[in-house]
């Protein structure tokens, strides 16, 4: 199954990301099949090819919650946000 997700590039403490398509079993840092956009969190710039992402999703590709939420935040599309992480449950102390 193909996955649309972020791939981190850039130097230490100067993060920059690519929006890429790759097999879900592959590491995100490895080779990718196609680059669909970029994200610069320091400059708050997000660019993505919406038509290509929608075409891949129509063919069965899954999108990561982080990429989906970035596309919603930067108004690339009007879809609901996904839950991208859950806080850990704290263990109750025994008395």
Domain range list for the chain: 2-73
Q: Where are the alpha helices (DSSP H) in 16-59?
A: 50-58
Beta strands across the sheet bearing 62-63: 45-48, 34-40, 16-23, 2-9, 62-63
Distance CA 28, CA 66 (A): 13
Secondary structure letter of residue 72 according to DSSP? H
- Model confidence over 74-90: pLDDT tens digits? 999 899 999 988 888 88
- Model confidence over 34-82: pLDDT tens digits? 999 999 999 999 999 999 999 999 999 999 999 999 999 999 989 999 9
Distance CA 5, CA 19 (A): 6
User: pTM to 2 decimals?
Assistant: 0.84
Assigned fold of 2-73: S16 Ribosomal Protein; Chain: A; (3.30.1320)
Provide the token pair at 20: 């890429």
């Amino acid at each position: 199954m193909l996955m649309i997700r972020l791939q981190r590039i850039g130097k230490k403490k100067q993060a920059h990301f690519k929006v890429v398509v790759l097999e879900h079993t592959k590491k995100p840092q490895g080779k990718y099949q196609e680059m669909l956009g970029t994200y610069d969190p320091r400059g708050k710039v997000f660019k993505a090819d919406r038509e290509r992402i929608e075409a891949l999703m129509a063919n069965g590709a899954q999108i990561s919650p982080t990429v989906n939420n970035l596309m919603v935040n930067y108004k690339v599309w009007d879809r609901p946000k996904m839950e991208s992480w859950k806080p850990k449950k704290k263990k109750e102390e025994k008395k």
